[in-house]
Structure 1
Amino acid sequence: MFPGATADPSAPAYTVVGAPLDVSTSFRPGARFGPERVRRFAGTFEDYDRATDQSFSTLDIADHGDVHAWNDPAEYCDYLASVCREIDRDGAVPLTIGGEHTVSLGPIRALEPDVVVVCDAHLDLRTEYDGDPWSHSTVTRHALDVADEAVILGARSGSEAEWVRADESDVTVVEPDAVGAWTPPGDYAMRDVYLSVDVDAADPAYAPGTGTPEPYGLTSRELRDVVRAVAPHASGFDVVEVNDRDDGQSATLAAKLLRDFVFAHADATAGADTDVDADGSLDGDDSS
């Protein structure tokens, strides 16, 4: 169980779902261990969040457990989508822990967002990789079959064809040097947004335990700021590509980002419900 996920599973506000798929990793495998490691390393954190004056254990979070993975990613994502669809129907926000990045397609298909915001070192816009159309490096391309737009934050790697695809109007790439100045557009308050964090968006100095590390990435604080900024507009969240090839740095960061998402989302929801948001920008916003 994710530490602090103490809500009655029949009526939570948030539900953690482990998705340990690990079939298309192209360099260092081990993403199947991600959900367990993220839960384990989350156990070191204080319950209280000073930034929002909330305690994690009081925010009605449940843990569904892991959705057992098998070796057919297309079928697995369909099944994971059905799990997340049920979570959404019950009024909870799905919080998915991967597993390889392909698992993001489960909650994305379930929630059918207008915009997918992805923190990722890689564009993941391939149509296939080594003949595999369901490779983790195709996930953003597949997401655009559902969403109208993809925003990729922190990308610094891609094939020539991917960069050409990224120039099309439905993709926005914010390269690492510009992420610190990026803020969610104002129309996000009126659109359904999904947030996916591939832990390799972080520089390997902060998150070495991932399948395809890429230097010159984001700091942990930059990722935190993105998550806290997007969370108030989001209907779902995932953090993926954590493996067991470090001493827990990647899992610790992933667990902290999941908690940051919940704190920021819950704080915005409370503000919207009571019309007391400090700057007024979220007053009346019930999009999430």
Structure 2
Amino acid sequence: MVAGFPGANADRDVAEYVLVGAPLDRSTTYQPGTRFGPRRMRAVADSFEDYDHYTESRFTDLAVHDHGDVRPGGDVEEYLTFLSGTVADVRDDGATPLVLGGEHTVTVAAVRALEPDVVVCLDAHLDLRESFGGDPYSHATVSRHALDVAEEVVILGGRAGSEAEWERAEREDVTVVPPDAVEEWEPDVGDREVYLSVDIDAADPGYAPGTGTLEPFGLAPREMQRVVRAVAPKAVGCDIVEVNDRDDGQAAVLGSKLLREFVFAHADAVADGDDR
């Protein structure tokens, strides 16, 4: 049995944050292995310091609970429905859900459960396809599914997509921020609720080679950290997806650290009375 996320030691009934593993691994285009993402991110987090000097808080004091993994069966649509119900239960209990993928398709379940106004994705790919290889639930369709729920999708670090996807991205409900502009981007969303999805392939492969569809000319970890900390106070939930087992742990370390950055920044905003 895989140990829980280090520092996620709160009981469920008092938790402010609930981590849900979602090891879906069915449509990765190039390198499979996302089923190992939740396990790897839990494992590498054991080396992190408990204390965060930005917020002067300790992870173990922030009431994080690890629900464990929601394991997929044979039908992806049924799995997304069940996973969505699990995320909705977290929300209904008054906690903030944190999803560890798994391929990016798991984001669809979280967005359906939380119904945010805006979905902010750190992602190399636009993911605006209607289907890919005949699969309407491919990980290349996530942004399109998100637009069935949210009024806007913002793709930070987007640099790859089909011609049809780039044409779709020209509509008012999609904003693509290229890698060289992410450093200056600010989450100008007003009072709208945001869901944050972190596809680890937003990072340049030199920083996170353990992912399914590698795309050069990407973001540096520090740029991703800044985005996560900026969006977290406005967010109703977060996921880290597309981490696999095809490297020496670099992608898992980055993903796990970004999850903790979200919790620290979100909890600090709540403590300061920011009601998002």
TM-score under structure 2 length normalisation? 0.98
- 1:286 deviates by 1.3
Contact 1:150 1:171 in 2 (8 A): yes
- 1:35 deviates by 0.3
1:286 has 2:275 as partner: yes
- 1:26 deviates by 1.0
1:45 has 2:29 as partner: no
Contact 1:73 1:102 in 2 (8 A): no
| Cα distance in 1, alignment partners of residues 122 and 5 from structure 2 | 22
SS, match of residue 37 in structure 2 = helix
Instruction: State the Cα deviation string for residues 212-254 of structure 1 (Å, max 9, x = none).
Output: 0100000000000000000000000000000000000000000
| Cα distance in 1, alignment partners of residues 72 and 199 from structure 2 | 19
| Cα distance in 1, alignment partners of residues 209 and 193 from structure 2 | 32
Counterpart of 2:275, as a letter, is D
SS, match of residue 98 in structure 2 = strand
Large movers: runs of 4+ above 6 Å: none
1:269 has 2:258 as partner: no
Contact 1:31 1:242 in 2 (8 A): yes
In structure 1, the partner of 2:201 is 200
- 1:186 deviates by 5.1
Q: Which runs of 5+ in 1 are unaligned?
A: 273-284
| Cα distance in 2, alignment partners of residues 72 and 11 from structure 1 | 33
Q: Which runs of 5+ in 2 are unaligned?
A: none
1:183 aligned residue (186, 197, 205): 186
In structure 2, the partner of 1:62 is 65
1:83 aligned residue (86, 89, 93): 86
- 1:138 deviates by 0.2
In structure 2, the partner of 1:153 is 156
| Cα distance in 2, alignment partners of residues 254 and 131 from structure 1 | 30
SS, match of residue 236 in structure 1 = strand
2:31 aligned residue (13, 28, 32): 28
1:174 has 2:163 as partner: no
1:128 has 2:131 as partner: yes
Contact 1:11 1:90 in 2 (8 A): no
| Cα distance in 1, alignment partners of residues 53 and 112 from structure 2 | 34
In structure 1, the partner of 2:140 is 137
- 1:9 deviates by 1.2
In structure 1, the partner of 2:108 is 105
Contact 1:16 1:63 in 2 (8 A): yes
| Cα distance in 2, alignment partners of residues 186 and 113 from structure 1 | 12
With over 3 angstroms needed to count, the CA separation of the structure-2 counterparts of 1:32 and 1:10, relative to structure 1, is: same
Superposed CA RMSD in Å reads 0.7
| Cα distance in 2, alignment partners of residues 183 and 71 from structure 1 | 40
Q: Give runs of aligned pairs for residues 246-257 of structure 1, distance below 5 A.
A: 246-257=247-258
Residue range with higher mean Cα deviation, 5-14 or 95-104: 5-14
| Cα distance in 2, alignment partners of residues 260 and 182 from structure 1 | 18
- 1:71 deviates by 2.8
| Cα distance in 2, alignment partners of residues 100 and 17 from structure 1 | 14
Instruction: State the Cα deviation string for residues 13-71 of structure 1 (Å, max 9, x = none).
Output: 00000000001111100000000000001111000000110000000000000001123
In structure 2, the partner of 1:212 is 213
| Cα distance in 1, alignment partners of residues 125 and 73 from structure 2 | 25
| Cα distance in 1, alignment partners of residues 76 and 173 from structure 2 | 25
| Cα distance in 2, alignment partners of residues 241 and 89 from structure 1 | 27
2:6 aligned residue (3, 24, 31): 3
The percent of aligned pairs where both chains have the same amino acid is: 62
Aligned residues: 273
In structure 2, the partner of 1:229 is 230
Counterpart of 1:77, as a letter, is L
In structure 2, the partner of 1:281 is none
In structure 2, the partner of 1:242 is 243
Instruction: State the Cα deviation string for residues 53-90 of structure 1 (Å, max 9, x = none).
Output: 00000000000000011232211111100000000000
In structure 1, the partner of 2:121 is 118
- 1:208 deviates by 0.2
Counterpart of 2:249, as a letter, is G
